[in-house]
């Protein structure tokens, strides 16, 4: 039996940063898709943010490399 996960196409999430408004956006793209160039909201130019592996896979654990540390297990 093949686990359902392997039968689905993996959709990697790329992270882009807008050089204009400095907003960080995530875009789900296939490997064959062309990279985004333009920020839809402001028209600024996007730069791909390279993560640890270049790609962030949703669902395979939450990443928190560049973001603020979330609440560290606080048992109050």
Instruction: By CB under 5 A, name the binding residues for Zn ion.
Output: 18, 20-21, 39, 42, 44
Q: Decide whether 42 or 50 has the Cβ nearer to Zn ion.
A: 42
Report, in Å, the least distance between residue 36 CB and Zn ion.
Answer: 11
User: Which residues, other chains included, contact 47 with Cβ-Cβ below 8 Å and sequence gap of 6+?
Assistant: 16, 17, 18, 19
Considering the complex, what minimum distance in angstroms separates the CB of residue 37 from Zn ion?
Answer: 12
Q: Return the number of the residue (18 or 56) whose C-beta is nearest Zn ion.
A: 18
Dig out the tokens for 44 from the structure: 């600024």
Q: Which residue is nearest to Zn ion (CB)?
A: 18
- Torsion on CA atoms 58, 30, 53, 17, rounded to nearest 10: -90
């Amino acid at each position: 039996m093949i686990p359902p996960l392997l039968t689905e196409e993996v959709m990697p999430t790329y992270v882009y940063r807008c050089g204009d408004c400095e907003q960080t956006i995530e875009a789900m793209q296939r490997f064959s898709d062309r990279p985004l160039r333009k920020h839809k909201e402001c028209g600024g130019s996007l730069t791909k943010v390279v993560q640890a592996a270049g790609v962030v896979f949703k669902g395979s654990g939450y990443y928190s490399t560049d973001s603020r540390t979330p609440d560290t297990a606080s048992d109050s």
